[in-house]
């Protein structure tokens, strides 16, 4: 990794092991994007590329000598609103005198070791300054005292460039930011496709791919959460790129609120952009104030989507997730939600825990319904004190009894919410997000607390901490079950109401920082009605997230496969649940449910006391199997071999860090008779080495496994198998 500036040519060059990112300063002092792609050590005379504009249809110009030099045509790094560029701007500012034209020109730069933390925001981190290098380029507005500092960091060992922007108001007058994106980049249109993750509640992160065609295509959330519908991730790839071949550029936003990411294509170029969604966003910068955007993590792969994903997995697992559980083993858990829903008491929970202990499960998680008078989803959010009718010995007493069975104890919270039917709401009706004299729309009978307020954040920290301090709790599930509406805050001035949603996120991040650092021994799992906030922002505080409320094994193959485009297996909560499945009614074998869940953070979510003896034995074996291979699944490299989005089967492979252990998971979803077996080729092996199938002892060369492949049966529904190879 290295960053350099050629002052003669005015060229910035950022390089990672396999990629280069190059920018230049034009004669008109505009910071222009020159190149991002496979590593180039030297480059031809590129002055022609960046000083001349690509001639755009009617592109207005400031340049009298060369009227073709227009921001409509120059490939920019941080385009602004108001003049000749008609595409999506990275920055839109409004000034006190009613003007809204910004003209950013190059001012200065700084290169230094390390990667700075972003105040109040989650971010990729390093352990030492030697691990990273950062370039800060300062642009100044020709018309005001506003400065934009663009940050670019690279970290040793990763083909990633991490971008964000800081906007500073150095003048005396207010500036209103209507849009401040994290990254924008103009590419020559070589024919691209865009891949993104979309879905719904219980159907999160299915893979979608479209051709990048003229016009603006945006993947976005306006919901105040990263959302089930679209995830803050896109990949732009050369047409036809697949898992192993082709250039792919990943864009991933370290943020959990409303976002936008997209491509805008005009006559010849493609602008790719990502950041906080400008929808309902307006941030006032007082004199001397600054605004820091979240960061976009760009990953380049010359070898298809597989390599891009493995870079994200390793980077996020080791340099975004934090805390004790980043590297240490996490317990296999049993969660009572699908076993009992709200209908439980101490006796029932202990019955499940007892059976769990017998099976070898290590953690009992008590889900929703333990507090206030919550017997359904109509009340009590905000009243975080135990319901003694259900749990006569309190949380502490229950935790002790669960501990006595040899299990750890974990608890569910939904701290950001309030039920209108709660003591908290009756006491503080203005503590929720709302707008004055407007109806407050409810979702799942609840409102969202206004985390843009410090007093509300303090309340949440205290309420949750009080429970955690008074019982032996070693795991917390942090849920969030609705999206924002009537977004406004009782404490913000009218002109600052457009700041509410982002201030909420800053409040949330401060709450999470305070709680997770006060309880470093607790494993936190984030959740949002399943995977509605499955994003890098939350992963910074909580190393795993509940992937989806859909626990059906077949549905999970799609969801986990899609999720793996940007997120590691170690981040995906995955449980074995009962059949017929509660979401789709499908009956799948216990073996398949087990193997599917083993591709994530393994657990159970069913009434174990109803298992037959044979099923109990299977569960015991599954837990042993998971523990045997969890290191390879969670710390190894993942290869996607067969996509359920492209055929009626799925296959994934994990290769251990030392490359000696290979796990091959195969799932045949739909049985089809009278057709030949399916050939699946393995990946990531050493072609010249030999591998033994630990099941039947057969030995194959890496070349044979990768080129000839293995023949897999396809004649029965919901067939699953795990084959383990050891390198000889």
Cis amide linkage into residue 336, ω under 30° from 0: no
Q: Which is nearer to ligand DGJ, 131 or 368 (CB)?
A: 368
Active-site annotation holds for 549 = yes
Q: Which is nearer to ligand DGJ, 362 or 549 (CB)?
A: 549
Contact pick of 530, 600, 636, 684 for ligand DGJ (by CB under 6 A):
530
283-291, 423-431, 459-467, 524-532 -> range binding ligand DGJ (CB under 6 A): 524-532
Site for ligand DGJ contains 337 (CB under 6 A): yes
Residue 33 buriedness (CB in 10 A; 0-12 / 13-18 / 19+): buried
Site for ligand DGJ contains 563 (CB under 6 A): no
Q: Which is nearer to ligand DGJ, 247 or 479 (CB)?
A: 479
Q: Which is nearer to ligand DGJ, 398 or 527 (CB)?
A: 527
Residue 382 beta carbon to ligand DGJ: minimum distance, rounded to whole angstroms: 14
Alpha-carbon dihedral sign for residues 385, 506, 159, 35: positive
Tokens found for residue 198 = 């979309």
Site for ligand DGJ contains 367 (CB under 6 A): yes
Task: Specify whether the backbone of 671 is left (phi greater than 0), alpha (psi in -120 to 50) or beta.
Answer: beta
Q: What is the DSSP secondary-structure string of 481-549?
A: -----S---TTS-GGGGGGHHHHHHHHHHHHHHHHHHH-TTSEEEE-BTTBTT-SHHHHTT-SEEE--S
Q: Which is nearer to ligand DGJ, 403 or 445 (CB)?
A: 445
Site for ligand DGJ contains 412 (CB under 6 A): yes
**Residue 699 contacts residue 652 (beta carbons within 8 Å):** no
Q: Which is nearer to ligand DGJ, 362 or 368 (CB)?
A: 368
Contact pick of 28, 549, 630, 653 for ligand DGJ (by CB under 6 A):
549
Q: What is the DSSP secondary-structure string of 606-672?
A: S-GGG--HHHHHHHHHHHHHHHHHHHHHHHSEEEEEE-TTTSSEEEEEEE-TTS-EEEEEEEE-S--
Residues 6+ apart with CB under 8 A from 380: 371, 372, 373, 374, 419, 421, 422
Residues 6+ apart with CB under 8 A from 612: none
Site for ligand DGJ contains 538 (CB under 6 A): no
Contact pick of 81, 152, 281, 546 for ligand DGJ (by CB under 6 A):
546
Residue 680 beta carbon to ligand DGJ: minimum distance, rounded to whole angstroms: 33
List the catalytic residue out of 85, 141, 450, 549.
549
Residue 337 beta carbon to ligand DGJ: minimum distance, rounded to whole angstroms: 5
Q: Which residue is nearest to ligand DGJ (CB)?
A: 368
> What is the distance of C-alpha 334 from the center of its chain?
25
Q: Considering only CA atoms, which of 501, 80, 434, 499 is closest in space to residue 259?
A: 501
The span from the CA of 495 to the CA of 247, in Å, is: 45
216-224, 286-294, 379-387, 527-535 -> range binding ligand DGJ (CB under 6 A): 527-535
84-92, 221-229, 401-409, 523-531 -> range binding ligand DGJ (CB under 6 A): 523-531
Site for ligand DGJ contains 168 (CB under 6 A): no
Maximum CA pair distance of the chain?
A: 86
How many residues of this chain interact with ligand DGJ, rule: CB under 6 A? 11
Tokens found for residue 87 = 């595409």
The span from the CA of 119 to the CA of 117, in Å, is: 6
Q: Which is nearer to ligand DGJ, 500 or 577 (CB)?
A: 577
List the catalytic residue out of 479, 535, 552, 683.
479
Contact pick of 10, 89, 278, 529 for ligand DGJ (by CB under 6 A):
529
Q: Which is nearer to ligand DGJ, 283 or 412 (CB)?
A: 412
Residue 374 beta carbon to ligand DGJ: minimum distance, rounded to whole angstroms: 9
**Residue 431 contacts residue 387 (beta carbons within 8 Å):** no
First to last CA, the chain: 34
Residue 334 beta carbon to ligand DGJ: minimum distance, rounded to whole angstroms: 13
Active-site annotation holds for 493 = no
Which 425-484 residues touch ligand DGJ, going by CB under 6 A? 479, 481
Contact pick of 132, 230, 359, 527 for ligand DGJ (by CB under 6 A):
527
Q: C-alpha distances in angstroms, 18 versus 39, 253, 296, 304, 318?
A: 5, 22, 19, 13, 20
Q: Which residues of the chain form contacts with ligand DGJ (CB under 6 A)?
A: 337, 367-368, 412, 479, 481, 527, 529-530, 546, 549
As annotated, the active-site residues are 479, 549
């Amino acid at each position: 990794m290295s960053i350099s500036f050629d002052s003669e040519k005015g060229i910035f060059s950022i390089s990672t092991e396999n990629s280069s990112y190059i920018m230049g300063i034009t004669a008109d002092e505009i910071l222009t994007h020159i190149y991002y792609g496979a590593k180039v050590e030297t480059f031809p005379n590129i002055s022609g590329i960046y000083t001349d504009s690509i001639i755009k249809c009617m592109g207005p110009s400031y340049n009298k000598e060369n009227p073709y030099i227009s921001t409509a045509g120059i490939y920019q790094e941080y385009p602004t609103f108001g003049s000749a560029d008609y595409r999506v701007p990275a920055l839109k500012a409004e000034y006190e005198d009613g003007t809204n034209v910004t003209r950013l020109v190059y001012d200065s730069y700084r290169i230094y070791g390390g990667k700075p933390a972003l105040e109040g925001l989650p971010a990729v981190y390093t352990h030492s300054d030697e691990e990273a290098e950062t370039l800060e380029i300062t642009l100044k507005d020709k018309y005001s005292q506003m400065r934009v500092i663009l940050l670019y960091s690279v970290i040793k060992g990763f083909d990633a460039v991490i971008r964000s922007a800081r906007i500073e108001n150095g003048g005396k007058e207010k500036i209103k930011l209507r849009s401040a994106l994290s990254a924008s980049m103009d590419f020559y249109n070589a024919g691209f496709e865009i891949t993104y993750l979309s879905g719904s509640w219980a159907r999160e992160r299915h893979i979608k791919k479209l051709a990048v065609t003229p016009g603006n295509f945006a993947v976005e959330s306006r919901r105040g959460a990263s959302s089930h519908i679209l995830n803050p991730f896109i990949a732009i790839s050369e047409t036809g790129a697949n898992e192993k071949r082709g250039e792919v550029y990943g864009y991933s936003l370290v943020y959990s609120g409303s976002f936008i990411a997209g491509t805008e294509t005009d006559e010849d170029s493609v602008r790719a952009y990502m950041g906080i969604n400008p929808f309902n966003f307006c941030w006032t910068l007082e004199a001397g104030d600054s605004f820091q955007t979240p960061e976009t993590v760009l990953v380049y792969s010359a070898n298809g989507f597989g390599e891009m994903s493995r870079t994200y997995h390793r980077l996020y697992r080791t340099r975004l997730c934090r805390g004790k559980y980043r590297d240490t083993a996490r317990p296999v858990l049993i969660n009572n939600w699908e076993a009992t829903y709200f209908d439980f008491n101490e006796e029932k929970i202990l019955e499940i825990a007892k059976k769990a202990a017998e099976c070898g499960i290590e953690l009992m998680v008590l889900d929703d319904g333990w507090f206030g008078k919550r017997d359904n989803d109509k009340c009590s959010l905000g009243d975080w004190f135990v319901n003694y009718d259900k749990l006569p010995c309190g949380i502490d007493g229950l935790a002790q009894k669960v501990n006595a069975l040899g299990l750890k104890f974990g608890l569910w919270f939904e701290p950001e919410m309030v039920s209108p039917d709660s003591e908290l709401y009756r006491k503080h009706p203005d503590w929720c997000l709302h707008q004055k004299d407007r109806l407050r729309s409810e979702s799942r009978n609840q409102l969202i607390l206004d985390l843009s307020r410090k007093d509300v954040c303090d309340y949440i920290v205290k309420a949750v901490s009080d429970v955690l301090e008074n019982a032996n709790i070693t795991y917390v599930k942090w849920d969030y079950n609705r999206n924002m509406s009537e977004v406004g805050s009782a404490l913000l001035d009218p002109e600052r109401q457009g700041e509410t949603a982002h201030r909420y996120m800053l409040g949330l991040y401060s709450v999470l920082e305070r709680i997770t650092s006060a309880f470093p021994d607790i494993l936190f799992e984030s959740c949002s009605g399943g995977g509605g906030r499955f994003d890098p922002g939350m992963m910074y505080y909580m190393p795993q997230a509940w992937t989806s409320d859909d626990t059906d094994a077949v549905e999970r193959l799609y969801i986990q496969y899609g999720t793996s485009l940007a997120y590691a297996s170690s981040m995906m909560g995955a449980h074995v649940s009962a059949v017929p499945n509660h979401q789709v009614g499908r009956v799948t074998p216990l073996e398949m449910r087990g193997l599917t869940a083993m591709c994530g953070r393994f657990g159970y979510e069913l009434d174990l006391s109803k298992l037959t003896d044979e099923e109990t034995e299977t569960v015991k074996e599954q837990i042993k199997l998971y523990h045997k291979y969890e290191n390879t699944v969670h710390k190894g490299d993942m290869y996607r071999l067969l996509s359920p989005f492209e055929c009626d089967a799925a296959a994934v492979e994990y290769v251990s860090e030392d490359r000696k252990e290979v796990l091959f998971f195969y799932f045949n979803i739909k049985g089809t008779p009278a057709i030949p077996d399916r050939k699946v080729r393995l990946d990531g092996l050493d072609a010249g080495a030999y591998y033994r199938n630990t099941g039947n002892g057969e030995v194959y060369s890496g070349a044979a496994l990768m080129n000839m492949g293995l023949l897999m049966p396809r004649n029965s529904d919901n067939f699953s198998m795990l084959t383990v190879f050891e390198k000889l």
